[in-house]
Amino acid sequence: MTVKDSTVPEHRPGFRLGLLHPKYLGVWLLMPLFILIAFLPFRWRDGLGAWLGRSVGRRAQRSRRRAEINLKLCFPDWSSDKRQQVLDEMFELAAISLFSGTTLLVRSRRWLERHIKLEGEEHLTPYLGGDKPLIFIVPHTWFVDFPGLLLASRGYPMTTMVNPQKNEATDYLMQKARSRFGGKIFGRGAGIHSLLGAIKEGYSAYYLPDQDHGLSRSAFVPLFATHKATLPCMSKMLQATDGVIFPMAALYDRQRGVFRGVIRPPVTTVVEDAEQDARRLNEEIEVLIGPEPAQYMWILKFFKSQPAGRSDPYSR
């Protein structure tokens, strides 16, 4: 595939003297510690992260409440003990992802190859070197950046969209890690057309469509045991790009210290019905997330948008 230069502004903040302002001092003071942690044996790193995540998670009342509401909606048959166990594990994984994230900035290509594995890579093989762009549809898990960076390190020209961080020093470091091997990063404000334009130029896309984007843009379809406002995005992306979609989950194996990109069979068919297309996305999420629910970012307000007559489940 031929990759051209895009005229759409990217979100790639560079270093500037303003980032040395005292309000960012905490970020720069913590960076040596995080770099040190990135070189620790994974069991030490994960042990520290699990302790911190469980401790903070039991005090973070707002985040824990949102996550518990989400789990009750999706898995109403679970016992209270099962929910609390998953919540504790989720917060542990959140902290482990925080401590391991610096590895994406400072560890070598060889390290990435040894510690990030693609499962289901055989689904990609028939399309490698072809004319169709590859589009990875990835739900919001804690380790979402790892498979994408591995693909970029292997020479895949990657593009994605991000929510810029309010802390500009943090945002600079995060985008520096994500763009370490090239590619294009767009802020959410640039719109989906920026991503589609990069795909048409030959970039492989890394797209996270599973947040609540409002009822006006979504279809209200089942997800696990509840319903969710879901973007009917897959058919639109196939039509706009003539590409191939691969649902993929970014997970972590705590026993082996391996970051996993679990790739599902490709989606190539277009469906005209928006509800059917949105449901198809949620079915993929169920298959990818269902076996390891603690890996998902349940702290997000996935179910805020409700039809008329239904209340916001997060309201007190």
Question: Closest Cα partner for 117 from 210, 207, 246, 252?
Answer: 252
For the stretch 215-225, pLDDT in tens is 999 999 999 99
Average pLDDT on 190-199 reads 91
For the stretch 39-59, pLDDT in tens is 999 999 999 999 999 999 999
DSSP string, 224-277: TTEEEEE---HHHHHHHH--EEEEEEEEEETTTTEEEEEEPPPB----S-HHHH
User: What's the rounded Cα separation, in Å, for the pair 121 and 117?
Assistant: 9
What pLDDT score does 189 carry?
85
Tokens of 84: 């609390």
User: What's the rounded Cα separation, in Å, for the pair 204 and 1?
Assistant: 10
For the stretch 80-100, pLDDT in tens is 999 999 999 999 999 999 999
pTM of the model: 0.93
- For residue 158, what is the enclosing H or E element? strand 158-162
How open is the CA angle 105-169-43, to the nearest 5 degrees? 40
The single-letter DSSP state of residue 137 is: E
Question: Closest Cα partner for 139 from 220, 81, 90, 210?
Answer: 210
How confident is residue 19, by pLDDT bands cut at 50, 70 and 90? very high
CB neighbour list of residue 98: distance below 8 Å, 6 or more residues apart: 49
User: What's the rounded Cα separation, in Å, for the pair 168 and 107?
Assistant: 23
CB neighbour list of residue 219: distance below 8 Å, 6 or more residues apart: 229, 230, 232, 274, 275, 277, 278, 279
The domain spans of the chain are 17-295
How confident is residue 1, by pLDDT bands cut at 50, 70 and 90? very low
Query: Considering the chain, what percentage of its residues have pLDDT values greater than 90?
Result: 91
For the stretch 103-139, pLDDT in tens is 999 999 999 999 999 999 999 999 988 889 999 999 9
In this model, does residue 7 exceed pLDDT 60? no
Q: How far apart are the first and last CA of the chain?
A: 52
What pLDDT score does 130 carry?
83
How confident is residue 2, by pLDDT bands cut at 50, 70 and 90? very low
User: What's the rounded Cα separation, in Å, for the pair 15 and 267?
Assistant: 40
Question: Closest Cα partner for 150 from 40, 243, 260, 244?
Answer: 260
Cβ atoms 149, 206 nearer than 8 A: no
Q: Is 191 helix (H, G, I), strand (E, B) or coil?
A: coil
